[in-house]
C-alpha cells in the first residue's frame, strides 16, 4: 500500500462500542469498492466504554490503513477531528460520525464531487430519521443561522459527512483555535464549495451526546465564532432605545408643563425600566460570550492532549507503534 493514501477518513469516537464493529465492516467495504488507496483515522475522545479496545483491535487488523488517536480525556467532537487533521496523509479528507446515521456507502458521492474540482463538499440529509423535536430545532436553527450569517452558505450544518481538499484541511489545522466549528471554518477558506444530498439512517444504538444544553452551547459557539452580528444587533437596539427614550423624555417634559406634576404612570415607567434592564443584561451576556472566547484563546492552553497514537510510520512499514503523550 502507498504511504501517501488518496483518501483520508476522519471519525471522532465517543462511547460508540455498540456500532463500531458494523462501522468498521461497512466503512472498509465501501472504501475498498472505490478502488483507491485510503486511510482511516479514528480519534477516541475520552470514551469510557470498550471503544478504546475495539479501536486498537481494528488497527491490528489493518495496521497500514487504520490509525488510532487516543485522547487522555474528553475534548469534544471538533477537537477530535482537528487532532486527526494534523496527521492526515490523504489528498481528499472525509469527515463523518461514528453512529452510522450517515451511511459510509455515501462517501463515493463526495469523492466524485471533489474530483470535479471542488475544494469543499458539504452535504444535506435527505429524508432525515431524527425525532420530531430534533427536526424542529435543526429547522429553525438553520433558518436563524442563514439570517444571522448569510455569507455562510450551508443547508444542513448538522451533517458531519463532508469532504475537504488537503489544502483546506492544512489551513484549518494551522489556525490553532481552541473552539471552532469545522464546516463553517472550511467555508471561510474555500474557493469552490458545493453541496450534495446524502442518505440518512436512524441511530442504531446508544444516544446522541448532543442534548438540549449541548445544542445551545454549540449554536453560541457557531454564531460568536464566525459573526459579530449579535453585537451589531445590540448596537442598533441600543441606538433605537436611546432615540425612543429621548422622545419619551421630551413627551414627559411637555406633559408636565401642560398638566403639572402627576403620580400616575409610575408603574408604566417601572415596566419600561425592567424591560430595558433585561435587554441590557442579555446584551452583556452576548458580550461575555465574545470576551470568553478571547479569554480562551489568550490563555494558550492545549486544545487537547494526545495520550498515544497507533499507526505505522510513513517511511518504512513496521508493526504498529505507540507514540507517547503530546499536547496541541
Provide the percentage of residues in the chain whose pLDDT is more than 90. Answer: 43
CA distances (Å), origin 38, targets 31, 32, 47, 69, 144? 7, 9, 25, 17, 38
**pLDDT at position 319:** 44
Residue 46 is placed in which grid cell?
Answer: 475520552
- Higher-confidence residue of 95 and 215: namely 95
Which pTM was predicted? 0.74
Domain extents for the chain? 7-210+301-327, 229-299
Evaluated on CA atoms 69, 299, 220, 133, the torsion sign reads positive
**Average pLDDT over all residues of the chain:** 81
> Which CATH class, in words, describes the domain spanning 7-210+301-327?
alpha beta
* Cβ-contact 81, 168 below 8 angstroms: no
Which of 125-129, 228-232, 277-281, 323-327 shows the lowest per-residue confidence on average (mean pLDDT)? 323-327
Question: If we measure between CA atoms, which residue out of 201, 207, 205 comes closest to residue 19?
Answer: 205
CA distance 9 to 23: 12
Q: What is the pLDDT of residues 278-305, one digit of tens each?
A: 778 777 777 877 777 777 667 777 888 9
Query: Residues 74-87: what's their mean pLDDT?
Result: 92
Amino acid at each position: 500500500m502507498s504511504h501517501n493514501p488518496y483518501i483520508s477518513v476522519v471519525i471522532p469516537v465517543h462511547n460508540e462500542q455498540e456500532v463500531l464493529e458494523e462501522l468498521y465492516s461497512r466503512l472498509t467495504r465501501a472504501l475498498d469498492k472505490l478502488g483507491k488507496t485510503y486511510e482511516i483515522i479514528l480519534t477516541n475522545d475520552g470514551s469510557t466504554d470498550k471503544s478504546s479496545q475495539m479501536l486498537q483491535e481494528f488497527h491490528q487488523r489493518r495496521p497500514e490503513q487504520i490509525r488510532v488517536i487516543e485522547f487522555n480525556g474528553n475534548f469534544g467532537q471538533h477537537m477530535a477531528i482537528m487532532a486527526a487533521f494534523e496527521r492526515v496523509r490523504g489528498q481528499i479528507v472525509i469527515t463523518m460520525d461514528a453512529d452510522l446515521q450517515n451511511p459510509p456507502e455515501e462517501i463515493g458521492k463526495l469523492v466524485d464531487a471533489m474530483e470535479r474540482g471542488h475544494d469543499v463538499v458539504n452535504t444535506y440529509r435527505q429524508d432525515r430519521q431524527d425525532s420530531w423535536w430534533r427536526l424542529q430545532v435543526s429547522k429553525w436553527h438553520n433558518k436563524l443561522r442563514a439570517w444571522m450569517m448569510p455569507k455562510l452558505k450551508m443547508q444542513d450544518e448538522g451533517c458531519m459527512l463532508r469532504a475537504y481538499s488537503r489544502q483546506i484541511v492544512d489551513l484549518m489545522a494551522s489556525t490553532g483555535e481552541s473552539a471552532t466549528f469545522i464546516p463553517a471554518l472550511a467555508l471561510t477558506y474555500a474557493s469552490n464549495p458545493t453541496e450534495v444530498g446524502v442518505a440518512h439512517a436512524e441511530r442504531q444504538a446508544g444516544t446522541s451526546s448532543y442534548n438540549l444544553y449541548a445544542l445551545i452551547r454549540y449554536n453560541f459557539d457557531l454564531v460568536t465564532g464566525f459573526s459579530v452580528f449579535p453585537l451589531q444587533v445590540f448596537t442598533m437596539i441600543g441606538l433605537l432605545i436611546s432615540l425612543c427614550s429621548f422622545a419619551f423624555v421630551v413627551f414627559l417634559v411637555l406633559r408636565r408643563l401642560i398638566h403639572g406634576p402627576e403620580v400616575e404612570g409610575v408603574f408604566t415607567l417601572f415596566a419600561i425600566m425592567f424591560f430595558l434592564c433585561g435587554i441590557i443584561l442579555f446584551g452583556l451576556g452576548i458580550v461575555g460570550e465574545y470576551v470568553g472566547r478571547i479569554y480562551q484563546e489568550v490563555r494558550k492552553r492545549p486544545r487537547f492532549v494526545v495520550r498515544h497514537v497507533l499507526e505505522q510510520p510513513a517511511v518504512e512499514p513496521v508493526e504498529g507503534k505507540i507514540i507517547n503523550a503530546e499536547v496541541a
